[in-house]
Amino acid sequence: MASIAHQPQIVPQPVTTTKPATGIWSWLTTIDHKRIGLMYGISAFFFLLLGGFEALLIRAQLAQPENDLISAQRYNELFTMHGTTMIFLALMPLTSGFFNYVMPLQIGARDVAFPRLNAFSLWVFIFGAIIINISWFFNEAPNQGWYGYAPLTGTAWSPGRNVDFWMIGIQVLGVASMAASFNFVVTIFNLRAPGMKMMRLPIFTWSTLIVSIMIIFAFPAITVALLLLSFDRYAGTGFYEVAAGGDPLLWQHLFWVFGHPEVYILILPAFGIISEIIPVFSRKPLFGYSVMVYATIAIAFLGFGVWAHHMFTVGLGPTANAVFAGATMLIGIPTGVKIFNWVGTMFRGSLRFTTAMLFAVGLVSQFVIGGLSGVMHAVVPVDAQQNDTYFIIAHFHYVLFGGTVFGLLAGIYFWGPKAFGKMFDERIGKWHFWLTFVGFNLTFFPMHFLGLAGMPRRYFTYAEDSGWGPWNAVVSFGALVLGFSFLVFLYNIYKMVRHGEPAGDDPWDAATLEWAISSPPPAYNFAVIPTVTHRDQLWWDKYGDEHGHAHVQNDDVPKTAEIQREANAAHPHVHLPNPSYFPLLAAAGLGTFALGMLFMNPAITIGLLHLPVLVIVGVALLIFSVYAWAFEPAG
């Protein structure tokens, strides 16, 4: 046997990584931010469709008065799951998909700071989503509304596991969001390419940074709220029980300290996406870039000081109401600045209405409607009329669908060609947009009238003589059109993937670094880490100014795209960290532990201690995989 001296040294072989690995195992063990981004996006899109289907069932029940298509109990489950799914399983992870895929490319990095932690956050999200949705199979879907007010969530009023599936599922999702947010913040501060100063960061990357910081500050509030609820439900404490000296309003304060920043966590990424798209299709840099950055920071900051506007009708008193009313109106200012700057960017621009641009401009127009009704809610006596009516439902769908979903769809049409290397069919894209635009307004605008006419939210039916029948029929028809628009979109995705025209590196003649590399990008992103000298670097490279106007060719400056192309042609040896399955295993451990809190038997009982087997297995798997992960050679 050869002696130790002759043991061949195991030297990590530089990886020739042009062609990413294939096969399901390569996806289960990937730590590549692009693949993780795609998996976030695809799974979240599935939940967007599921949430949309739940909404269609709601609208089928409400299409006519005194309908008995769906029982009251099932209806409670549908709107709770619809709201929870749309917010936590669709819009947030879709945003994470964009953060993951686009941000590292925009800052000129090869990946995020902690690739395995990134994979862990994805799998924890998947397990959280499974835990919430398997409740349907046990006929115990959450039924307490997406913000789960106490004391309804206590065991006295909700003795079944409906609330537990929601409570534990959201806790698990919180772990995924926190892990991802720390990763993005560290990445943006530490992995920027040389010369990528903070005020040269693309605005979408700024949104990623600010939203990640908001998540880090907001999620602990709901984590604590849910923890106290778990004690009330499992250990019989009374944090939210008046009889036990607790206070149900404690839940409302804790929930909305998280909940209102949450709505900005949902909308700011969409604002970031359209702030990338509008300049490219106006051929002008973003109007007031720095002011846009400061406005985003102002919204994020003020967003933590308005939570009690959700509680104007619980009796906090005139002083508190006045303060929160004022703070809420204040937030309208930085939001207005953004709308002004988007219009300023388009003003005298040479506009090109691609599908991405249509959805971006669609967002601006629809969000203004949602914003205006938001300012109306800030007036306490007006809110007393509108709270818990369909006016509120109209308001937040204009901001969350007209805002966030329009923005995310714009982002898919804009960066889809980069990720898949193929172009969408623009003609079908325009059909998709107009069906969405018409369907959306048919669905949600009449809800303002229904709300002002007194129709309450969360009621599974209404009386014939209420007079709400005709508008509800229009709303439900609109929801059908909206549903159909998603089918058109699905067809366009299929057509792009199967028959799309090759996209090339820079199909939109854009300004930021992700367009300097191939579509899809190589596993290592940049063959050479780019050097940044200007904001909108590629416009500077191509046109010698940052205005994207094709008037002069700047030949003496090495162009980022060319440098990448030449380096790629030389088949660079770029060292990348190894794939790993420990993040997946660790997430499975956490998921199994969480399931153990729902399925308490079989269990091992030691004295008073009742230890569910799933809890033991989950904790053991979690500890083992985190240990192995810590000592696994990164590559």
- Partner whose footprint covers residue 260, from ligand HEM, Cu ion, none (CB < 5 to 8 Å by kind): Cu ion
Quickly list H helices, 500-523.
none
Q: Which is nearer to ligand HEM, 147 or 526 (CB)?
A: 147
In the complex, the smallest distance separating the C-beta of residue 56 from ligand HEM, rounded to whole angstroms, is 7
Q: How far apart are CA 506 and CA 513, in angstroms?
A: 10
Interacting positions 391-420 with ligand HEM (CB under 6 A): 393, 397, 400-401, 405
Interacting positions 129-148 with ligand HEM (CB under 6 A): 145-146
* Helices and strands of the chain, counted as H and E runs: 20, 2
Q: How far apart are CA 562 and CA 513, in angstroms?
A: 12
Q: How far apart are CA 285 and CA 511, in angstroms?
A: 9
Token pair belonging to 528: 């050479």
- Partner whose footprint covers residue 86, from Cu ion, ligand HEM, none (CB < 5 to 8 Å by kind): ligand HEM
**What is the CB-side half-sphere exposure of residue 289 using CA atoms within 13 A?**
18
Q: Applying CB under 6 A, what is the total number of residues that bind ligand HEM?
A: 23
- Partner whose footprint covers residue 52, from ligand HEM, Cu ion, none (CB < 5 to 8 Å by kind): ligand HEM
Residue whose C-beta lies closest to Cu ion: 260
Site string for ligand HEM, 177-196 (x = CB under 6 A): --------------------
Q: Which is nearer to Cu ion, 242 or 333 (CB)?
A: 333
Q: Which residues pair with 604 in a beta bridge?
A: 611
Using the contact rule CB under 5 A, the part of the chain among 32-40, 44-52, 253-261, 381-389 near Cu ion is: 253-261
H or E stretch covering 541: helix 537-543
Token pair belonging to 186: 């560290």
Site string for ligand HEM, 438-457 (x = CB under 6 A): -----x-------------x
Helix (H/G/I), strand (E/B), else coil: 164: helix
- Partner whose footprint covers residue 127, from ligand HEM, Cu ion, none (CB < 5 to 8 Å by kind): none
H or E stretch covering 271: helix 248-280
Interacting positions 454-493 with ligand HEM (CB under 6 A): 457-458, 479, 482
* Positive or negative: CA dihedral 64, 68, 72, 75: negative
Residues contacting 506, CB < 8 A, separation 6+: 515, 516, 538, 561
**Cα–Cα distances in Å, from 630 out to 191, 618, 625?**
22, 18, 8
Backbone angles phi, psi at 611, to 5 degrees: -105, 105
Q: Does 260 bind Cu ion (CB under 5 A)?
A: yes
In the complex, the smallest distance separating the C-beta of residue 82 from Cu ion, rounded to whole angstroms, is 19
Q: Does 395 bind Cu ion (CB under 5 A)?
A: no
For residues 317-326, one letter each, b for 16 or more C-beta atoms within 10 angstroms of the residue's C-beta and e for the rest, the string is eeeebeebbe
Q: Does 86 bind ligand HEM (CB under 6 A)?
A: yes
In the complex, the smallest distance separating the C-beta of residue 397 from ligand HEM, rounded to whole angstroms, is 6
Residue whose C-beta lies closest to ligand HEM: 83
HEC profile for 396-418?
HHHHHHHHHHHHHHHHHHHHHHH
Which residue in the set 31, 39, 58, 201 belongs to the binding site for ligand HEM (CB under 6 A)? Answer: 58
Which residues in this chain contact Cu ion in the complex, by CB under 5 A? Answer: 260
Which residues in this chain contact ligand HEM in the complex, by CB under 6 A? Answer: 52, 55, 58-59, 79-80, 82-83, 86-87, 91, 145-146, 393, 397, 400-401, 405, 443, 457-458, 479, 482
